[in-house]
Amino acid sequence: MSRNSNRADGDIVQDFLSVADLLEEPQLAQLYTYLAREGEATVQNLLDDLEFAQGTAYSYVNQLVDAGVLDVIDGGQPRRYAAREIDLTMTTAAGDREYTITPALIDAVGRREKNTDIDTHIDRHSVAGLATALTHAVDRERGKVTYHLMAGDLDTSLLAVEMILWALRPIVHGHYDIEEAGAGFDKVDTNHCDVADCA
């Protein structure tokens, strides 16, 4: 499911609708991320590892199979499921910004319930703002962007930028190849301002 939304392709709307629930429901995003990471799994694996209720797990799996983001690996018992790769790029109507829905973004949404910094960022800036922050977090880890540039682009404070960057760091390192020689967060002197100046 790798598409660019500015193509004249009637399936692009269906592709977007297929992943929209993943961006709205953190537990669906957790399930998708788990399957993308594990390769394939049974519903029992989901029950054991994600601690979903049995009815919830079956309901979510069926919902994502129907949406076309999960595949049934075989018809045997127990059934095994695998996540389809998602890489969907959308351009705003004005054409001034692109947003890419990737497994990393879905992973970030899935962490919303347990990470207050991600939850706060989505509340303030929407999932589109989280996608922008994730792009910047990758660039920050690669030493390509500064806190000030990010704060301007995200229209937020330096402190808020630092908080979302730290929240997204495990996701960035889990989904992207980051050179150890880059200017990652751990190599940045965060004492460049006090809290009052960063807020």
The tens digit of pLDDT for each residue in 171-182 reads 999 999 987 544
pLDDT value of position 180: 57
Candidate from 36-45, 84-93, 131-140, 155-164 with smallest mean pLDDT: 84-93
Q: Which helix H or strand E contains 83, and what residues bound it?
A: strand 80-83
Distances (CA, A) of 116 to 109, 119, 121, 123, 161: 11, 5, 8, 10, 14
> Taking a C-beta distance cutoff of 8 angstroms, is the pair 148, 158 a contact?
yes
Residue 146 has pLDDT above 50, yes or no: yes
* pTM: predicted TM-score of the whole model, two decimal places: 0.78
Domains assigned to the chain = 2-83 (1.10.10.10), 115-198 (no CATH)
Residue 169 has pLDDT above 60, yes or no: yes
